[in-house]
A and B are shown apart, each in its own frame.
Chain A
Amino acid sequence: MEAEKKERRPLHLAAGAAALAACAFSVLLSILMVSSLFDARASSPLARPELDQWRAALQADPANAAARDALRSFDLAARKMYFGSLASLRTGAWLLLGAAAAALLGFKAVAFYRRRLPDPRSYPQDEDPLESAGLARFTLAATGLALLAGAVALGLKARAGAADSARRAVREAPPLASAPAGEALWPGFRGPAGSGACAFTNLPVTWDVKKGMNIRWKSAVPLPGRSSPVIWGNRVFLTGATKDKREVYCYDLAAGTLLWRASVDSGACRAVEVMDDTGFAAPTPVLDGTNVYAVFANGDVAAVDFCSEPRWTVNIGLPVNSYGFASSPVAYRDKIIIQFDNNPDKGGVSELVALAKASGRSLWKTRRPVADSWPTPLLIETLAGPQLVAAANESIIAYNPDSGAEIWSVACRGSDSSPSPLFAEGLVIAPVTHDKVYAIRPGGRGDVSQSAVAWTSEDGVSDVPSPAAAGELVFLLQSDGTLACFGAADGKKAWEAGLEKYFYASPVIAGENMYLVSREGEVLVLKAGPRHEEVARASLGEPSDCTPAFAPGCIVMRGASNLFCIAVK
Chain B
Amino acid sequence: MKIYAALFALLLAVLSARGENRFPMPQFESGYAMPAAAEPGAHPGLFEALDAAVLLGALSLAAWLVLRRRSRRGVLLLSVFSLLYFGFWRRGCICPVGSIQNVALWLFDGGYVIPLSAAAFFILPLAFALLFGRVFCAAVCPLGAVQDLVVLFPVRIPRHLARALGFFPYLFLALGVLLASAGAGFMICRYDPFVAFFRLSGDLAALAAGAALLLLGVFVARPYCRFMCPYGVLLNWMSRLSKWHASIYPDECVQCRLCERACPFDAILVPNSSLVPEPREKGARRLTALLALLPFLALAGGWAGASLDAKLSANHPVVRQADALKGAPAASGSFKSKMLESFALGGGKAEDVRARAAAVREKIRLGGWIAGGFLGAALGLGLIGVSIRRSRDSYEPDRGECLSCARCFMSCPREHLRLRGGGKIEPENGGAHGG
Contacts and interface: CB of A to CB of B under 8 A. Distances in A.
A307 B304 CA distance: 32
Residue of B10, B165, B336 with most partner-chain A CB within 10 A: B10
A224 B265 CA distance: 72
Interface stretch (A132-140, A314-322, A349-357): A132-140
A176 B327 CA distance: 12
Interface in A104-139: 104, 107-108, 111, 118, 120, 123, 126-127, 129-130, 132-133, 135-139
Contact of A140 (B167, B278, B309, B376): B167
Interface stretch (A91-99, A186-194, A205-213, A418-426): A91-99
Interface string B20-41: 0101101000000000000000
B358 to A, nearest CB: 12
Contact of B349 (A123, A132, A152, A260): A260
A308 B161 CA distance: 51
B307 interface: yes
Interface string A170-181: 001100110000
Interface in A135-159: 135-144, 147-148, 151-152, 154-159
Interface string B369-408: 0001001100100110011010000000000000000000
A214 interface: no
Interface in B259-289: 260-262, 270, 272, 275, 278
Contacts of B150: 104
Nearest to B411: A118
Contacts of B420: none
B160 A138 contact: yes
Given A94-B200, A262-B351, A308-B325, A140 B382 contact: yes
Question: In terms of DSSP, what is the predominant structure of the interface of chain A?
Answer: helix
A162 B3 CA distance: 47
A34 B329 contact: no
A237 to B, nearest CB: 13
Given A90-B200, A93-B18, A158-B314, A126 B270 contact: yes
Nearest to A160: B310
A257 B159 contact: no
A23 B7 contact: yes
Residue of A31, A93, A97 with most partner-chain B CB within 10 A: A93
B389 A129 contact: yes
Contact of B14 (A93, A138, A162, A261): A93
A123 B11 contact: no
B351 A104 contact: no
Contacts of A273: none
Contacts of B326: 165-166, 169, 307-309
Contacts of A75: 26
A199 interface: no
A414 to B, nearest CB: 41
Given A130-B278, A147-B171, A27 B6 contact: yes
Nearest to A40: B21
A155 B305 CA distance: 8
B344 interface: yes
Nearest to A78: B23
Contacts of B329: 169, 172-173, 176-177, 306-307
B216 to A, nearest CB: 15
A143 B14 contact: no
B393 to A, nearest CB: 15
A23 B7 CA distance: 7
Interface in A63-118: 75, 78-79, 82, 85-86, 89-90, 92-94, 96-97, 100, 103-104, 107-108, 111, 118
B163 interface: yes
A120 B311 contact: no
A234 interface: yes
B14 A137 contact: no
B375 to A, nearest CB: 7
Interface in B218-252: none
Contacts of B167: 140, 143-144, 147
A120 B160 contact: no
A129 B383 contact: no
A140 B270 contact: no
A96 B350 contact: no
Nearest to A103: B7
A219 to B, nearest CB: 11
A24 B304 CA distance: 51
B160 A136 contact: yes
Contact of A143 (B13, B21, B164, B389): B164
Question: In terms of DSSP, what is the predominant structure of the interface of chain B?
Answer: helix
Nearest to B386: A136
Contacts of B297: 144
Given A31-B10, A118-B262, A137 B383 contact: yes
Contacts of A133: 386-387, 389
A482 interface: no
A137 B325 contact: no
Given A168-B330, A172-B330, A108 B152 contact: yes
Nearest to A234: B335
A408 to B, nearest CB: 42
A140 B163 CA distance: 7
A151 B163 CA distance: 20
Contacts of B303: 152
Contacts of A143: 164-165, 167
Contacts of B15: 93
Contacts of B215: none
A67 to B, nearest CB: 12
B160 A135 contact: yes
B257 interface: yes
A561 interface: no
Interface string A514-537: 000000000000000000000000
A157 B312 CA distance: 12
A168 B387 CA distance: 51
Given A169-B326, A261-B349, A142 B164 contact: yes
Contact of B161 (A139, A159, A258): A139
Contacts of A387: none
A223 to B, nearest CB: 12
Nearest to A96: B11
B307 A151 contact: yes
A132 B160 CA distance: 6
A260 B37 CA distance: 27
B359 interface: no
A139 B160 contact: yes
Contacts of A159: 307, 310
A176 B336 CA distance: 12
A88 B270 CA distance: 53
Contacts of A82: 21, 23
Given A103-B7, A168-B330, A148 B17 contact: no
Contacts of B17: 33-34, 37, 89
A148 B349 contact: no
A90 B19 CA distance: 11
A155 B258 contact: no
B42 interface: no
B234 to A, nearest CB: 20
Contacts of A103: 3, 7
B14 A141 contact: no
Interface in B145-174: 149-150, 152-153, 158-161, 163-165, 167, 171
B341 interface: yes
B21 to A, nearest CB: 7
A97 B326 CA distance: 47
B209 interface: no
B328 interface: yes
Given A90-B200, A260-B350, A262-B350, 9 more contacts: A118-B260, A137-B383, A139-B164, A142-B164, A143-B165, A148-B376, A257-B341, A307-B328, A309-B325
9 contacts: A90-B200, A104-B149, A108-B149, A118-B258, A144-B375, A144-B376, A152-B303, A252-B335, A306-B329
> Which 5 residue pairs are nearest across A and B when measured between Cβ atoms?
A30-B10, A155-B307, A120-B257, A135-B160, A308-B350
